[in-house]
Structure 1
Amino acid sequence: MQRLIPAFAALLPIFAAQSAAAQDRAGAFDHYLLALSWIPAYCATDGDDRDDPRCRDGSAIGWAVHGLWPQNAGGDWPEYCTTSERAPSRRETAEQADLFGTPGAAWHQWNKHGRCSGLSAAQYYRLVRAAAEGIALPPVFEGVNRDLRVGPEVVEAAFIEANPDLTQDRIVTSCPGGALVELRLCLTRDLEPMDCGPALTRRECRLSAATLLPLR
């Protein structure tokens, strides 16, 4: 037995490499997750440091795209996949700044997630835009001018009212630190709303009420 343990240990890096290669293969995933950030919360934690123009006073931006992420049914996801598709040019990322906030954010989303879609950069950016345009943003959030304490189910209900194809089973809210930061929608590869799996719903906000920061 003492001889078998070192031999088995020597194989572990091989097994790990094979697992990582399978997870990070471009185009090998089950569905998408459309992540929408509440921009005031994003600005408070990250956007201000990145000089994101959406964080400027008077921008009055509420929900906006964070990214469109390939996901697996078991709850894991591929990242930084190897792909034969070329990276987007500076011009291409600059053209996506209205969607992602900055050209750098557009590059990051392609590099980390878009590579795994199996699409070209241009196709991936078009898909993200189509996913975003397929979701109606509830007008109730347009006038938030002070800190509000709201339950995650209230936010979800507003999105469901504006998008009849959504249900609470298709939405996952995120509230790290007690602030509503993100809302994530489970979509099929054809961008149709679908129920989120248990691995995703276990990570949703469990607070009875969280802080919704005011628009800038």
Structure 2
Amino acid sequence: MFRSFQRVLLIFPALLLCACDNGPTAKQASEQVQRQQPAEKKAVEPQHKAQRARVAVPIGTGFDYYVLSLSWSPTWCAGNDVSGRTEQCAADASHGFIVHGLWPQNETGFPEYCRTSESDRIPERLGRTLFDIMPSMGLIGHEWRKHGSCSGLTQKDYFAVVRAAWDRLEIPPALKSIVRPKEAATDDIETAFLAANPGLAKNAIAITCEARFLEEVRICYNKDLSFRSCPAVDARSCRSKSVTLPPIP
């Protein structure tokens, strides 16, 4: 109703101008209305990932902060499922970074396998909503039992926070498409993440490796998913100055 009223207001002055010798024609008035329409459509376009990520998240209890662990899927698949039997490693999966887990941490140590009134099993209808970032029911179930159970949250809320933590992080463009094995300095990988994510500090990120291959990137968050420093996590970074990234299938 309100939008129709807006169009009437736009057309009415144009019709008045048409009564004058030098005013726009009815066709010109119609074109003027059409030019207004793209602006109206813009307001309902889907939000950018960074805007979606600013929504409030459920706040967990019983720990101090989170670590978001991102696994470089090609490394895991090369060592665990080279034939591509699992959904994560299937030939048509094409995963780069995936969420290994969102881990509640304490300033010293971390809780795991906590008692909770929630079920140990994850309903498939919930798990499959995460398959774009955690492409395995086995992984999702394991992460809930070992880590999510210590978040003080329900399954639904914990995985909502997992999704939000992923959404609040921008994967550097250079790491979204690797078509052949790539050698990269660990410092360069860190620098790329820092450049893509304003507010992320060098002592809030850790790069881990498996032999000479990139294994994971770990990012530290406060409970509200703002970035925070975590020297204890940073100290466990890969000691190698460079790593190899197996290509994304």
Does the 8 A contact of 1:97 with 1:106 survive in 2?
no
Which sections of structure 1, spanning at least 5 residues, go unmatched? 1-25
Residue 143 of structure 1 aligns to a residue whose secondary structure is: coil
**Shift of residue 184 of structure 1?**
0.1
TM-score (structure 2 length as normaliser): 0.71
TM alignment of 1:59-70, pairs within 5 A: 59-70=93-104
- Which residue identity does 1:85 align to in structure 2? E
Name the residue aligned to 2:107.
73
| TM-score for the superposition, normalised by structure 1 | 0.81
Q: Kindly tell me: are residues 89 and 50 of structure 1, through their superposed partners in 2, closer, same or farther at Cα, counting changes over 3 Å?
A: farther
Letter in 1 for 2:138: G
**Aligned-residue CA RMSD in angstroms?**
1.9
- The aligned amino acid for 1:184 is R
Aligned twin of 1:13:
none
Match of 1:153 in 2: 187
Q: Answer with 1 or 2: which has the greater Rg.
A: 2
Aligned length: 189
Which deviates more from structure 2 when the two are superposed, residues 124-133 or residues 77-86?
Answer: 77-86
Within the alignment, does 1:144 sit opposite 2:183 as a pair? no
The answer to which structure, 1 or 2, has the higher relative contact order (CA under 8 A, 6+ apart) is 1
Which secondary structure does the structure 1 equivalent of 2:133 belong to? helix
Q: Separation in 2 of the partners of 1:119 and 1:49?
A: 37
Structure 1 residues 215, 184: closer, same or farther in 2, change over 3 A? same
The whole-number CA distance in structure 2 between the counterparts of 1:168 and 1:187 is 13
Secondary structure of residue in 2 paired with 1:181: strand
Q: 1:213: how far off? A: 1.0
Secondary structure of 1:99 counterpart: coil
CA shift, 1:50, in A, is: 8.1
SS at match of 2:239: coil
Q: Deviations over 1:123-169 (max 9, x none)?
A: 00101000001101111123312222211111111111111111211
CA distance in 2, matches of 1:180, 1:126: 27
The DSSP-based 3-state class of the residue aligned with 1:56 is coil
